[in-house]
Amino acid sequence: MSNKKRRKRGRSSFTIILLILAVSSFWAYNTLVEKPQEDRILQYKPLITNELLKYKMDQFTPLLMAIMYQESKGKGNDPMQASESAGKQRNEINSPEKSIQQGVFHFHQMYLYGGKKKVDLDTIIQAYNMGPGYIDFVAEHGLKHTEALAKAYSELQVKKSPSTYKCGGNLGNFRYPYCFGDYTYTKKVKDSIPVVTKIMEKSMEI
């Protein structure tokens, strides 16, 4: 066999090995990383639904699960990242059950206030992140959420307290200079709804 043929066969074998390694890595990622993540999210579904039932809002279970997915992927003791909405320090809530109680309560409060102000659901979702002041702001600017409005509201809050809202001093932060809240929050949560819906559907197939 010529050296040229040997080199060609060697390259082909190397390519096949790389392909096998890539497939194996993908399988390992899905089984070792994604599956636990799915389990983390699913374990909280009954708690979220039960809390929503208290307010006769269980139709929002996928949305609240998407909020949790965006906030923490189900990790930690405050998976709804609800501490600050309760007037506490970040991650001060140290119980997933209490986190869900407060997170659902906070969403319910934003939903009621948003209804009173006649804003859209996207505004209410954004208010989970930015608070009721954002609802007031949108109510005065067309009643419908846009990322441009979220940026404008964030900018106002930054001007009021520039030493507090500075993205940790990281000029490379995608939010900078709109460092109050996350102006992309609504989009991220809505993009997560199909993800959590698929997770729930897969669990029902088992």
Chain mean pLDDT for the chain: 88
What average pLDDT does this structure show over 79-87? 96
Cβ burial of 171 (10 Å; 0-12, 13-18, 19+) is exposed
Distances 73 to 32, 80, 173 between C-alpha atoms, Å: 15, 9, 21
**Does the N-terminal peptide bond of residue 177 adopt cis geometry, omega within 30 degrees of 0?**
yes
Of residues 119 and 14, more confidently modeled: 119
Residue 7: the pLDDT is 53
Q: What pLDDT digit, counting tens, does each position of 121-138 carry?
A: 999 999 999 999 999 999
Is 90 exceeded by the pLDDT of residue 174?
yes
pTM value?
Answer: 0.81
What average pLDDT does this structure show over 117-122? 98
Residue 33: the pLDDT is 43
How many helices and strands, by DSSP H and E, does the chain display? 9, 0
CATH annotation of 44-205: 1.10.530.10
Residue 27: the pLDDT is 41
Q: What pLDDT digit, counting tens, does each position of 28-44 carry?
A: 444 334 457 788 899 99
Q: What pLDDT digit, counting tens, does each position of 41-66 carry?
A: 999 999 999 999 999 999 999 999 99
Residue 204: the pLDDT is 75
Residue 166: the pLDDT is 92
What is the Cα–Cα distance from 134 to 37, expressed in whole angstroms? 31
Is 60 exceeded by the pLDDT of residue 119?
yes
Residue 14: the pLDDT is 58
Is 50 exceeded by the pLDDT of residue 186?
yes
Q: What is the DSSP annotation of 158-181? A: HHH-TTT-SGGG-TTSTTTT--SS
Residue 28: the pLDDT is 41
Q: Hey, where are the domains in the chain?
A: 1-43, 44-205
| Contact yes or no for 80/71 (Cβ under 8 A) | yes
Residue 37: Cβ within 10 Å count: 14
Q: What pLDDT digit, counting tens, does each position of 92-112 carry?
A: 999 999 999 999 999 999 999
| Contact yes or no for 73/40 (Cβ under 8 A) | yes
